[in-house]
C-alpha cells in the first residue's frame, strides 16, 4: 500500500478491504507513511461504495486505531 501511495504521489491515498457488503477495513497512506485519519479519503471511498451498491444505506469502516466510522 505504501508503494502505491508513493507512486500516486497524492497527499493521501485510501485503501478499503471489503469484509462484507456494509463493512470495510480502511487505511490511508501519504507518499511517506501511513496516515492516522483522512476525512476526504473516507468520504470519497464511501461515495464509490454507495455508487456501486445503491441498495445499502450505511457503510461501516473499521480502522485499527480509531474503531468504527459510520457513513
Catalytic residues: 12
CA dist list (Å): 36 to 1, 12, 55, 67: 14, 11, 30, 12
Helix (H) or strand (E) segment spanning residue 49: helix 39-52
CA dist list (Å): 1 to 47, 57, 59: 21, 28, 22
Amino acid at each position: 500500500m505504501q508503494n502505491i501511495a508513493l507512486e500516486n504521489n497524492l497527499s493521501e491515498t485510501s485503501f478499503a478491504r471489503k469484509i462484507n457488503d456494509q463493512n470495510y477495513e480502511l487505511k490511508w497512506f501519504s507518499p511517506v507513511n501511513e496516515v492516522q485519519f483522512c476525512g476526504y479519503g473516507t468520504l470519497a471511498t464511501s461515495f464509490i461504495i454507495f455508487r456501486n451498491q445503491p441498495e445499502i444505506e450505511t457503510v461501516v469502516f473499521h480502522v485499527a486505531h480509531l474503531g468504527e466510522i459510520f457513513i
